[in-house]
């Protein structure tokens, strides 16, 4: 297949593109201000500016793009007033512009990336919307806009919601990075009481989920509008730290209860509808 990927320079995107290139021809969409993304040698990178939807349509058509995997987004755990334009631009406008071009270019399918933070305190298996933060709200806003294209065109659209992720070459300040730094330096790490549960999935399993869904989309299988990738193994933050110590033979210098829980702290991760015929292979 000819597949366009957005967000290819990110943690998930870089791993996914490496996997896709084994079997498919991969094209990339990047922003002009992103120094991490350079034009491909064979012209396989499109640099999207604010108003060049027509040029993107032509790029998709000329390269016979069959499907798009949309990973690009701006993640902010908490926002300030100055962040609102960037959140809307990155998480709402960009995807909508791509869908507009894709609908005109005859792209067959589109996979959107969501987050389980769109379903704060939702009952297991439900799709009840309640955003943890403004980031999650913008992800939902784009899903609502994408519904218009799924209803008015032949393009198939599906959202894959992710839990927390981990794996090699992760430069994000996620929990395992904090544990690794603490084990190395021994400096005191102040944390909350640690009772909140976490659903954390290895990047290899995340990648295989996207690859599996892309094949299902290509094969025309009957799908719901959204699915979740989950490890199926929720551990409290304290349990996760204890397991890290045991498996890596280290001691973590953590002061539990030194910080309050964040507003709208996710104490129990959302359990949505798992992607069919996919199971995580790596357990943490």
- What pLDDT score does 169 carry? 85
What is the pLDDT at residue 41? Answer: 47
Q: What is the mean pLDDT of residues 12-17?
A: 96
CATH number of 2-165+200-229: 3.40.50.720
Quick: pLDDT tens for 200-250.
999 999 999 999 999 999 999 999 999 999 998 899 999 999 999 999 999
151: CB partners within 8 A, 6+ apart: none
What's the Cα-to-Cα distance from 36 to each of 7, 26, 32, 157, 281, rounded to whole Å?
Answer: 10, 17, 10, 28, 30
Tokens found for residue 237: 């933050």
Let me know: does 100 contact 53? Beta carbons within 8 Å.
yes
Sequence ranges of the domains in the chain: 2-165+200-229, 171-198+233-255
3-state SS string for 116-157: HHHECCCCCCCCCCECCCHHHHHHHHHHHHHHHHHHHCCCEE
Q: For 48-104, how does the pLDDT look when each residue is reduced to its tens digit (9 = 90+)?
A: 987 899 999 999 999 999 999 999 999 999 999 999 999 999 999 999 999 999 999
């Amino acid at each position: 297949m000819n597949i366009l990927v957005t967000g290819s320079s990110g943690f998930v995107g870089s791993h996914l593109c490496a996997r896709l290139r084994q079997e498919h021809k991969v094209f990339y969409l990047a922003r002009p201000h992103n120094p991490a993304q350079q034009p491909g040698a064979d012209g396989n990178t499109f640099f999207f500016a604010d108003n060049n939807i027509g040029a993107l349509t032509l790029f998709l058509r000329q390269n016979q793009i069959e499907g798009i995997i949309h990973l690009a987004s701006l993640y902010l755990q908490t926002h300030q007033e100055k962040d609102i334009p960037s959140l809307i631009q990155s998480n709402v406008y960009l995807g909508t512009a791509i869908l507009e071009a894709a609908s005109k270019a005859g792209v067959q399918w589109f996979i959107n990336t969501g987050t389980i933070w769109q379903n704060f305190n939702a009952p297991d298996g439900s799709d009840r919307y309640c955003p943890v933060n403004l980031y999650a709200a913008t992800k939902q806003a784009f899903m609502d806009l994408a519904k218009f294209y799924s209803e008015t065109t032949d393009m198939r659209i599906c959202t894959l919601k992710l839990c927390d992720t981990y794996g090699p070459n992760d430069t994000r300040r996620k929990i395992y990075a904090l544990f690794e730094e603490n084990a190395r330096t021994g400096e005191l790490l102040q944390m909350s009481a640690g009772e909140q549960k976490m659903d954390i999935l290895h990047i290899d399993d995340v990648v295989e989920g996207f690859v599996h869904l892309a094949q299902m989309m290509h094969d025309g299988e009957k799908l719901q509008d959204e699915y979740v990738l989950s490890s199926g193994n929720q551990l409290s933050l304290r349990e996760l730290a204890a397991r890290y110590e045991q498996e890596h033979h280290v001691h973590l210098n953590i002061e539990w209860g030194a910080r309050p829980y964040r507003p709208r702290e996710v104490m129990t991760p959302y359990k949505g509808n798992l992607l069919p015929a996919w199971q995580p292979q790596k357990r943490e």
